[in-house]
Structure 1
C-alpha cells in the first residue's frame, strides 16, 4: 500500500483528536476471530481423532461409540444413530443407536419398511438433510414423509458415501427447542462423515479378512481333528488286528482290550459282545460291562432268541440306533420287550464275517449327556468289521492251536500205543458213518439210508417172490400247532420222544427212519401176514393218541399212516415212497388219527387232482369263476345291508363244480389267490351297477381272501387297482379273512390290514370261534366285524352252550366297538334269538340262498322297490 493510501486509511480511522473511532468493535472482531480459531482447532482435533480411530480401533463395535463421542465434541449430539444400507439386498441395519425416547430397531430390516422416513430421503437423494419443524411440515403436506418414532425438533442426517454409493446414514436429532441445528452443523457432520466412511470401510475390510482367516482356521482345525481322528481310527484298527496274534492272551482280556479300543473312539462305558449260536437259537454274552446292572451274571446269562433289541440287530443284520422314545415305541408295537427306564441311547451293530453272522456288539448310555448319532453308528459299524475279523481269526487260531495240540497228543498216543490209535480211528470212522447215515436230531436212519434199505428189499423180492415187506409212512397231526404255540425246541423234544417209542414198537429186523420235519417211515421186512403190519400201525396210532408232557405242559398230537405192501410192479424205492405218501394223505383226508392201505383208486385220485388242477388253471385264464351273492340283513328290521360274494365255477369241461370240490385243491396249490382277485373284481363291478341302478350307494359287498394274500406286500395295491378299475368306492367293499392269517407273518399282515383300513375298506374276521380266538389279536389288529361261525348258529335255540358262546362273542365285539354277523341262519327261531342277543346282522338260507347276479337283481328289485 502506498504512503498516501496509508495516510488515507489512518485519516479514516481517527477522529479530529486522532483517537480510534470504535475500540469495542475491534475487540469483538478479535474475540470472534479467536473463537473461530478455537472452533477450527476443535474441528481439527476431532477430525484428527477420527483419523486415529480408523487406525487404532480393531472392531466396528468399538468404533461407533467413539465416533459418537467425537461428533458430540463438535456439536450437540445426545441422540445419534448410524444405519448401514445394503444396496444388493435393499436392507437397513442400525449398527449404532442412542436415543432418549425411542428403542433401537433390531436386526436386518427391509428398506421398504422405512419408506417415507428422513433416512430414506437421504439414501435416495445421496444428499445431506437438515429437517426443521417448518420443513418437516412442508414435506409431510407434500406426502414426502411420514412419522417414524417420537417427534423431535430438528433432525440432521448425512449420507455415508463410498465410491459415490450410499452405504449408510449418520444422523443426530433434537427433542428440545433450545437445541437447534444449523447449516455449519450440516457441513461439519458431512465432512466428518467422510472420515467415518474411510474408517468403516477399512474396519469392514479388516473384519472380512479376519472372518476369512477365522473360517480358514476352523477348516484347518477341522481337517487336523479329522486327520487325528483318522489316525486314531487307523491305530485302533491296527491294535484290534494285533490282538488276533496274541494267542496266549486270555479270551476275557481279549474282549476287554477290544472294549478299551472301542472306548477310545466312542463313549462305550456300557458295552457288551454277544455271540449268536445259530444251531440252538441262543445268544451267549461273551463280554459285558454295565454301570447300572446290580447282578451282571443274571442280566447277561445265555438266553434263547426272544424279543430283545439285540435280536432286532441279528434279524436285520444291520446297525440299529435307538433313543429311549424309539425303544418305547417298538415295545408299544409289540415288537420288543419293555426298555429299561434308565436307558437314554442304544446302539447295536452286527458282527459279520464273510457273510456269517457271528453276533452283536452293543453300547448304551444311561445319561442324557451322551446320545449316540448316525456318525457313531457308522463308525461302530466300520469298527465291527475289524472286530468280527479279529474274533473269527482268533477262533480259527484257537481252533488251529487246539488242533495242533490234539495232533501232538495223537502223535504221542500213536507212539505209545499204536493199537489204541487204530481203535480210536475205527471209532471215529464209525461215528462219521453213523452221522452221515442218521438224522442229527433223533438219531434215526435218514432218508438216504432208508432208500438204500428199501431198494435192497425190492431186489430181494425180485430174487425171492415169497419175500414180503411193507412200508408205513407216518405224518404227525397238529405238529405245527405245537411248534407255533410252544416253539421249535418243544417240537424237537416231541420228535425225539416219538422216535424212541417208534423204535421200541418194531422188531429188531425192522427199520424206523425220519425223512424230515414230522415225517417218519417204517420198513417191516419178512412179513408172514399183512396183520403184522396192521398190528404195528394200530399200536403206533394208539400210542400217539395219548398226551405227551413237554416242558410241564400237556401236548396232544396224533398220526395219519399210509401202508404200502410189496408188489412186483415196483422197481425202485422212490415210487414206493410216493404211493405210501399218497395213502398217508388219504388217511389224513379221511379224518386223521388212522391208517389206510394204498390201492389203485388212491393213485387215480392223485391223477384226478392233477387233472382238476389243470382245469382250474384254464378256468382262471378263461374267467369262468363267477360270484354268487348272499344277502346280509339287519336282524332288527331285516333291512338289506349288503352281500357276501361266494366263488362258483361253471366249467366248460366239467359243468357246474361245487365249491367243496375245487376250493381245497385251489388253496393247496395257491391258485385260490387268482380266483379271489377275479371274484373281487367281478363283484365290485356288479355292486357298482346295482348302486347306480337302484340309486342306493349304501349297498356293499363282502369278499373272502385266502390267508396268503395277507402275506404279500402287494395286496393293498391289488385292491386299490380293482377299486380304480371298477369305480367302486372303498367304503362299499369288505374284506373277510380267517384267524389263520393272523397267526403267521404278523408284521406284514398287520401292515396290509392297516393299509386297507386307511384306504377305507372294512375288515371282517370270518368263522370266529372255531380257531384260536385269541383276545390278543382282536386288540392288535384293526378288525371291524366278527362273523360268528355257522357251527354255533345252526339250531342255536336248541343248544344252551352255543347260546352262551355266542353271547360272549357279541359282548366281546360290543366292548371292542365291533359289529357282529351271524352266519348260516336257517330258521326263524335262530334269527329271533340272535336278534335278542344284540347280534347286528345275519345271513343264511332263512333269508336267501346265494344267488347268481341275474337272480340277485330280481331280489334287489323286490327288496328295494
Structure 2
C-alpha cells in the first residue's frame, strides 16, 4: 500500500511539474519549476551566448560563469560534463541555457529542457521582431520625409509632418528646426513647438546669430557637432561658456544639419520631463534623420521657387490673353445685344456684299414698318461730306454725295440721336436754324432717321420717309429703326475693322504660340530640376559618384539576388584615404576636395560595368563588385586600386603622394542587411589601417569579437557613470627617514558588477577613445576629495592624477576651485599630478594654469619623470612642488646598485634640492631599494613596501 501511495504521489508531482512547465511563458518561470527540484541550483540563459547572460535566482560568481561557458563548449564537442552542470538547451549558435546544481544535477530534466528551449526560441524571435520593427520604422520615416518633400503640401504642413515623423522615432514633443544663412550669419526658425517656451517665432524672420551668442543653437552652428544632455552636461561639451536662451529643459538633444562640410541648420528636441533622457543611439538617429530633413527642406524650397516662377509666368500669360479677349469681346458686343431680332443678327453675319446686305436690311425693315422710301447715308471721316451707298425712294432720284449742307441727315449726325420729324417739326427746325429751307422734298410728310453710331460718334444715318398722309411713323418705329442702326453700324465697323481684326488675330496667334513655347521651356526646366533633385538624393555633389543611399540600395538588391541564387556572390571594398585630415589641416578644404575628386576618378578607372564606385562620406569610398566567385577576385581588384594611387596627384598647387587603405567583405547568402555588410567591411578597413595603412585586409569572423568587446566596454563605462560604480583608492607617500605618511595618491578603481574591482589599465584606453575620460575624472575628483577630508587632518595632502584633456579646457582651474569650495576641501592639502607630455604640449599655457593654481594654494607634481620628453633643463620653467621619479629607475635597485639608475637619480636629486622641489621615488617594493635611496639623499617614497592602494576606510583604521 505504501509503495502504491508513493507512486501515486510521484505521478501527481510529475503531472504538476508538467502543468507548471506548460504554463511557463518566460525563461524565469521555467527556472522556477526547476528550482523546485533543487533550491540551491542556478539557471543561466542567453539568446546571444556568451553575452547578455541572465541568471535566476541570483547572480553567480565569475567561476560559475566560466564553468557554464566551458560546459557549453564540451557539450558541443560531445565531451563529458561534471555532475553539477547540465546544458538544458543549445541551438548550436547563440541560444543557450545551462543548469548549475552544487549538489549534483537531478535526472529527468528533458521536459524542462524542452520547454526552456521553446521559451528561448520564442524570446529570440520576439527580439528579432523588435529589431526589425525599429529598422522598419526608420525606413518608413525616411520614405515619409522623401514623400513629403515631393508632395504638394505647403511648407507649414510639411514641417508639421516632419515633427510627427521625428516624434515616432523618439520623444519630440518639444521640437524645432532652424536654417542657417552663412552669408548673413543668421537663423530662421522654420518650425518651433515647445510646451514651456511659448514664444512666437516668425519663420520668415532672420535672427542674427549674435542675438543668441553662446547659446546651445549657437554652439551647434559654431562647433558643428551634436550636443546632448542636461544643462550641466552640455556645459562640458561646448567649446566655451554656455548661456541659456529660453526655458531650461531637463534633457536637450541637438544636431547640426550639414551639407558638404558646412552647417546649413539645426534640428533640436528637448524634454522637460523628469526621467526622460536621450541616448547616444537617438543622437545618431537624429543626426541621420537631419540629413534627410535638410534634403527635404532644400527640395521643397526649390520646388516652391519653381512653382512661383511658373505661376508668375502663367499669370502674365493669362493677363495678356484676357486683354486680347476683352478687345475681341468689345467688338462683338453689338452682335450679342441683338439676340431679340435673330433674323437681323443672322443677316448681319451672313451678308456677302454691302449692296446685298443693305437690300436685305431694307427688306427686313420693310416687314416691320413702312420702308418704301428708305436710304442709308454715310459721313466721311472728316464729317464734311455725306454719301448715300443705298437709297430706294419714290420722289428723290439724286443720291449723289453732298457737302456743307444742313439737312435732316446732317442734323442727326450733329445731334447723334434718332429724330422723328413731321411737317410742323420741319418748320420749327428751319426757324431754329438747324436745317436749311428746301433741304427736304416738299411732299415729305413724315421723316424718321437714326444715327449709325460708331466708336467715335455717328458715322452715318439710316432713314425712312413718307409722302402719303396715311403712312405715319411713331416712337415704336423709331426704336426699331434705332436697333437696326446698331446692327448696320456694327456691320460697317466690322467691315472697316476686318483687316485690323485679321492682323490682331494673327498677332494673337503669334503671341499665344510664343507663350506656349515659353511654357514648354518652363515645364522642361521643371522636369530637369526634378531629375537633378533625384540625382542629388542618390549621388555625391562633389565627385558625382553614387552616395551611401545609392550604395545601400544596390547592396539590398544584391542580397535579394543572393536569396534567389546563392552562387551569385558579391564583394564590397571599403576604402579610406590615409591621413586625409593632414591634407585638410595643412592645405585647406579646397585642396582636400581636389584630392577626393582625383581619388574618385582613379577609383572609377579601376572597375567596369556593372561594378560601381560610391562615395559614402568624407574620405570614405566603396566599390561594389557584382561577380565574385572567389575572394582572390576581390583581392586582385584591391591590388589594382592600391596601384592606381601610387602616382602623385596635384592639390593646392602641390604634388602629393596619397595612399589608401581597403577593407574587403565577401557577400554571400549569410548576410541579411546592407548595414551588416558595411560594418564588416569597415572592420576589415580598421584592421588595414592598424596594420600600417596602404594595404588591404579581407574580413573574417574573428574580427567581429574584439570590436564588439570594445563597444560593450564603452557601454559598460557609460552605465558605470550612471550607476556610480567608480571609487577612489589611496596609496600613501612616506618620508623615508621615519616612515611618516606625508600624503596619499588617489587612484581610480571601477567596481564592476560582474568582474569585481578593476584597475585603470583595463578600461582607461577605451574611456580616452570614447571621450568619457573627462566625466570619469571629474567624478573621481569629487569622490576622492569628499572621502579624504579625514586623511588630511594631520597635515597630509592628497594628489590627483589629471589627464591632458582637462588642461585643454580654458577654465579647468576655476572648475577645480569651485569643486573644492562646493565640497569644503581646503585647497592647500591638494596636489595635482601631471605628466611630462602634458607640460610640453603647450608650455606657456601650462605655466599660466599652474601659477594660477599655486596662487590658490594648489601645488603641482611632475609624475613618471624620466619616461617622457622633458629634460632636467626644462623642469625649472614650471612652478612644481614635487617630482616623482618613475619606477623604471627604482626597479634595478632590487638586485643591487645600478650605476645608470644611480647617475640619473643623483642628477634629479641634485636638481630638486637646488630648486627646492620635493623628490619622491615611486615603485619601492623592497627594503634594499629604500636603503639605497635614503643613502642617496632621497627624502620621500611610494610603493608596495609601504602599502598597496586601499579604500579610504582602510587608512582610517575602520573595518
TM-score (norm 2): 0.37
